[in-house]
Structure formats: C-alpha cells, structure tokens
A and B are shown apart, each in its own frame.
Chain A
Amino acid sequence: MTGLAILVALSPLTGPAAALAGARARLAGAAQTAGAAVALGCSLALLVTLNGHAPLAGWDGFLYVDSLGGFFAMTVAGVTLLAALGSIGYVSAQEDSGELSGFQVRLYFTFFGLFASLMLAALETGNLGLLFVLVEASTLASAALVGIEGRSRSLEAAWKYIIISSLGVTIALAGTLFLFYSASALHLGSNLGLTWPYLLAHAQALAPQSLRLAFLLAVVGYGTKVGLAPMHTWLPDAHAEAPSPASAMLSAALLNVGMYAIIRFLAIAQARLGGTYPRAVLLSFGFASIVVGALFMVRRGNFKRLFAYSSVEHMGIIAVALGFGGVLGLYGALLQTLNHALAKAVLFLSSGDVALRYRTREAGQVSGLLAAVPVTGGALLLASFAVLGSPPFGLFLSELTIVRAGFAHGSPVFPLLLLALLGLAFVAFARTTAGMVTGEPPQLTSPYRGRAAVAVTAAPLILGLAALLVLGLWIPAGLDAVLRHSIRVIG
C-alpha cells in the first residue's frame, strides 16, 4: 500500500523526465498523460484498499493517507489526466506556430509534472509542517507555468500570483506554528506529535485561545490559495494569463488542495472549540467569495477571467457548505469539489481551444462557436450549464445537497441568500457564454496539424463531460462509500 501511495505522487514526473530528455510537445504530453493515468489508477486502487479500513500511515506520520486525502488525490489526479491530454493539443499547436520555443515547451512540461506531483504529495502527508512545504513548493512550480509565455501581461500575473500566494501560505505557516503552540501541554517531543491524526486525537488538550488564532490564520493563509475573498485578487489574473491547460490545473486542482488544508484545520478546531466559531469563520469568507465572484461575472470581457471568477464563487460555495456542516453539508462540499473540478477542467480546456482558433481571449470577439467547432462549442455550452448547477449534471445534485444542509443548519436566511446569489451568477455567466456559442462564425483556420491533434483536443472535453453527466444521474456506490468514510474522518 505504501508503494501505491508513493506511485500516486511520483508518477506525474514522467512528463518532466520526457521534457528533460528533450522530447517535443507531442511526446512529452503523451508521457505526461501516461503518468497522470497511472496516478489516477493508483489513487483509485488506494481508495479501494483503504475502503473503511485504518488509514495508511508510516515514516513518523510523514506519510498519512486516509479516505479524505485519497478522495482529493483522486480528484487532483483526474484533473491532471484531463489537463495533460489537453496539453498535448494546446502546447504542440503553440510550438508549431512558434509562439513557444522548444525551451519553453520543455519548461512547461517540467513544471506541469512537478506541480501535479507536489500537489499529490501534499495530500498524502500527515505532518502539518510538511504540508506547508509542499503547498508552497507547488505555488512556485505553478507560478512558473503562469509566466511561461513571457509576455509582460503573463509575467505581471505570475508576479502577482507568486507574491500574494507566498505571503498567504507563509501566514498559514504562522497558523501552523500557533497550532503547535496550542499543543504545548502535550509536550510534543517527536515528529509524530506534529501530525494531523495525533493532534486530532488529542484535541481536548489543545489551548483554545491559541487554537482559535491558529484556525483563523490557517483559513486566511490557505484561503489565499483557495481564492476566498478578499484574498482572491491574484486568481483571475493568473487563470487568465496561464496557458489554458495550466489554468485548468490551477482552478480544478490547486484550489482544492488549499481547501483540503483548510478542512484539516477545521476538523481539529471543531473537535476542541465546537462548531460555532469555525463555522462562522467559513460562512463569512464563503459568502464574501460568492458575492465577489457573482458580481465580477456580470462584467463582460475576457472569458477566462469569467471562468476564474466562477471558481471564486464555487470555492465560496464549498466554504459555505463546510460552514453549514453536518453530514449533509460535508457530503455536499466534497461532492461539489469533485464536480466543480471536472466542470472547470472542461471549461478551461475548451477555452484553450477557443483562444487558439479565434486568437483572442475576449468574449465579445467570439461568436458562432457551435457552428464553427461543434465539439468545443458543445462542450463549452454543456460545461457552462453544468457549472451553473443545472440538471442533469453533477453540480445540480451537490448544490441541492448544500442548500438542504443549509436548511437543516437552522436559519433559512443563509440557504435563501445562497440560492439568490446562485441565480445572479447564473444570469451573469450564461449571458456571456450564450453570446459566444451562438451567432455567425467568422472565417477560422485550424491551429492543429492533422486529425489526431483535433481528436486529442476533443478527448478530455468528452471524458470530463461524460463523468459529470454520470455523477449527475447516479452516484456510484463506491464513491458514496468514500465520501461517507471521508466525513467520518473529519468527524
């Protein structure tokens, strides 16, 4: 089992290996895809073996995988697979057109694989200090991806991203220190004492005042990575300027890793402080993010920025779901995480195809997508509806669960407010995407060479949408079990 867990974290390094060996975009992309597929397979196998049994732990708690970590690892590995598939078409088209040099392509795949690997490793450690180290390292790797095109706009976005996120994650480290301070009554003497399961088991011995500060700092710090308002300011720039498959990784994988860290702190805080304080914190940040996300979506402009603000909104929804709490709230939050990851990956990957074909990222200059490129247009339209929570897609189910959890939570004000904001987001988002897919298409030239490249671009879109549709109609028994085990882990 330990071998499986290591394989999950290391197999995405096939892409960097191929890139360092000097492979061109197609080959490096294929290697990256194969590595991501192995990672996804191993994470699924890991979940099956874990199924309700004791978590996998070793090396003084540096390695620790439970159902919750396994679930997030599966999500991240799945997104990595979709984004790696998308990278083949996107990056090789850019390489062919000369927009990216051979060096930049190698750099792209090196950091892409490293980024995925670091995120997966972060989900498999129980040591909270190491969690910080890996999350910060993944920030650095992804910042290189954001700035890869080297234009002044992308460098500006990368700078904003790296400086805001690094500061945020450093604040999370301060939060981790305060958590350890709060545990000084435990006389932590070994590495094992700094691990999440140990602290959770001994939560009653933690000093509440210090823990309260630790939780707040962790939410602010890791919340910067999640994109919770008001720490979200880096997010739209980075998502808009990164190459589209990298945007998909940021939105659908990285934000979730930040949320995962918050969930770990939430579990400890709830065990000692009770539900009221941590939930109030999450509800405030969550609603702030939904409001900011929905309001900024009203503005028409760069469609990748639109998707990015939708990520801010969705991360807010997940935070609100955690704030509602209870089995329903946690179930909804986890389901929403998976569904949002799939939908956003499809959206960003299709936006990459649109950007290549139309040579613009402005929504106003894109029209007739459905007529010009039926597969991408259809995927964009369907994924838009999915991300807005319409049936029959998975997000409808998870958002319904979250609203139900809200009504169960007590005051009906919060779930009603949530519904109103979701309505606003729907109108704002659909207004822009509807304009993109309908109308008369302009004269377009295909950026791809050969039919294979077109097929490989369509593959992740179809795969992602199919998964979304399945999750909307039916939750497989295995997934249901994993979600229930994860909830039990959090407590």
Chain B
Amino acid sequence: MQSLSATSAAGVLLDLSGVVILLLAFACLASKLFNRYVVYYGAQSVVLSFAAGTAAVAFHSAELWILAALTFAVKGIAIPVAARRLLVTRLALKRDAAMSSGLSTSLIAGGALTAFAYLVTRPALLPHGTVASAVVPLSTAVILLGSLSMVVRRHTVAQLIGWLIVENGVFLGAITLVATFPFIVEAGIFLDIVAGVLIMVVFVSGLTRQLAEASAAELRELRG
C-alpha cells in the first residue's frame, strides 16, 4: 500500500478536509431548518470530493480522479438539488420540529461521540502509519454523528440526510485506502447510494401523501 504520511502536503490537506467534514456534520446536527440540512450536506460532499482529488494527486490515480468528479457531480450537486426540489420545496418543509432531544443535548452527545471515536481508533489500531493519521478517527466520528442525527430527528427527510452523512463518513475513511480499493466497488457503492436515495424519495413522497406530515414520529401504527 502506498503511504500518505501525516506530514506531507497531501496528508495535511486530507486531514484538514476531514476536520471541515466533521464540522459540517456538527453544523447539520445543530441546525433546525431543512434547507440548511441540504446545504450542509452538499458542502460536505464538495469538501469530500476535494479530499478525493487531493488523494488522486498524491497517489497519481486516474480512478481517484473519476471518483472525485463523481462525488462532486452526484453528491455535491445532483442529490442536494434533487432533495431541495423534490422534497424541501415540493413538500413545503421549513422548520424541523420533530426532534426527540434539544439541540444542546444532541450537540453535547455529538461531542462525546467524537471523543469516543478518537478513543476507539487509537493510532495503535493502525500499524505502520500507512494512512493519514487523523482521517480514521475523523471519519469514525462523522459516521457516529450521522447516526446520532438519524436517531435524534424523527422527520423522514432529516433521517435520509443523516444516512447520507454516514455514507460520507465511510467514504472519507475509504479514500485513505483507495490506493487499494477497487474502482468497481467504489462505483457500486455510489450506485447503491443513488438508488437508495431514489427509492427513499419515492417512499417519503408516498408517506407524505398519506400522512399530513411525513414525520417518523407519526409512524406509530406498527408497534410491539
């Protein structure tokens, strides 16, 4: 595996992108407006494509360039635009009221989860220092924050964005491995996400037609 040490320029850029991605996940967790969720997710994906581009330069990998371009086009532009048109605007979503805990509580929980991510992914886990050291705990933290916002938010659209943030976290972790990760698998993951978003959008629209508000809080017919 080619190495990407934390002190090289590419390593520093990758670490920095990881930090920005984490901050954007926090921003999403702290927000209450549907528009903002989509904007933060889009911005996060753009930074992610920048990180993929950085790795592409460092590894001289053509496949990584394609992935960076795909990330930018699909996650950075297509999904946010589609989410805004098909969900936020069409369903007239503004403020998200369906939360199971207050914003400050979820931010504190997010901080704790970030600390936890650093705790479980101590450098000892990664022998030979082959990956930019900060990226693994950062991506773990993004995964946990995305999961947290799925748990805290009960609106279906907010849960969908939470899942996409989790995906971004996994993708950030995958970039560090990408010198070895086969392109076909990455492409498959991409395809899954797009198909997943499509199917979820259909479900959200269907649920909205049937319920006054497509809030998972109101999904309580099935119990026990």
Q: List chain A positions with a Cβ less than 8 A from chain B.
A: 60, 62, 127, 129-130, 132-134, 136-137, 140, 143-144, 147, 150-153, 155-160, 162-163, 166-167, 170-171, 173-174, 177-178, 180-182, 184-185, 187-191, 193-194, 207, 209-210, 213, 236-237, 240-241, 296, 299, 301, 305
Contacts and interface: CB of A to CB of B under 8 A. Distances in A.
Interface in B81-131: 120-121, 124-128, 130-131
A190 B182 CA distance: 8
B125 A181 contact: yes
B188 A153 contact: no
Given A159-B156, A174-B173, A177-B177, A210 B185 contact: no
Nearest to B211: A152
Contact of A167 (B121, B125, B150, B199): B150
Nearest to B121: A213
A273 to B, nearest CB: 14
A156 B182 contact: no
A457 B122 CA distance: 57
B185 A167 contact: no
A140 B196 contact: yes
A177 B174 contact: yes
B79 interface: no
Contacts of B196: 136, 140, 162, 166
B189 A140 contact: no
B1 A173 contact: no
Contacts of A213: 120-121, 125
A151 B206 CA distance: 9
Interface stretch (B6-14, B67-75, B214-222): B214-222
A320 to B, nearest CB: 24
20 contacts: A133-B185, A133-B192, A143-B203, A150-B206, A151-B210, A153-B221, A155-B210, A157-B222, A159-B219, A163-B156, A163-B160, A167-B166, A170-B163, A171-B143, A173-B189, A177-B170, A188-B1, A207-B126, A209-B125, A213-B125
Contacts of A184: 1, 126-128, 130-131
B127 A207 contact: yes
Interface residues of B, number: 50
Given A132-B189, A184-B1, A184-B127, A173 B170 contact: yes
B62 interface: no
Contacts of A171: 143
The CB with the most chain B CB atoms within 10 A, among A127, A184, A210, is that of: A184
Contact of A129 (B147, B166, B185, B219): B185
B206 A155 contact: yes
Interface string B186-221: 001101100110011001101100110000100101
Contacts of B143: 170-171, 174
The CB with the most chain A CB atoms within 10 A, among B125, B156, B177, B222, is that of: B222
A159 B181 contact: no
B185 A155 contact: no
Interface in B143-168: 143, 147, 150, 156, 159-160, 163, 166-167
Contacts of B136: 181
Contacts of B147: 167
Given A166-B163, A209-B124, A210-B125, A237 B222 contact: yes
Nearest to A238: B222
Nearest to B130: A184
B1 A163 contact: no
Given A170-B167, A177-B173, A180-B180, A127 B185 contact: yes
Contact of B182 (A132, A151, A152, A191): A191
A199 B96 CA distance: 46
Nearest to B136: A181
B62 to A, nearest CB: 16
B210 A129 contact: no
Interface string B49-89: 00000000000000000000000000000000000000000
A124 B196 CA distance: 23
Contacts of B200: 159, 162-163
Contact of A185 (B127, B150, B181, B210): B127
Given A140-B195, A240-B222, A189 B203 contact: no
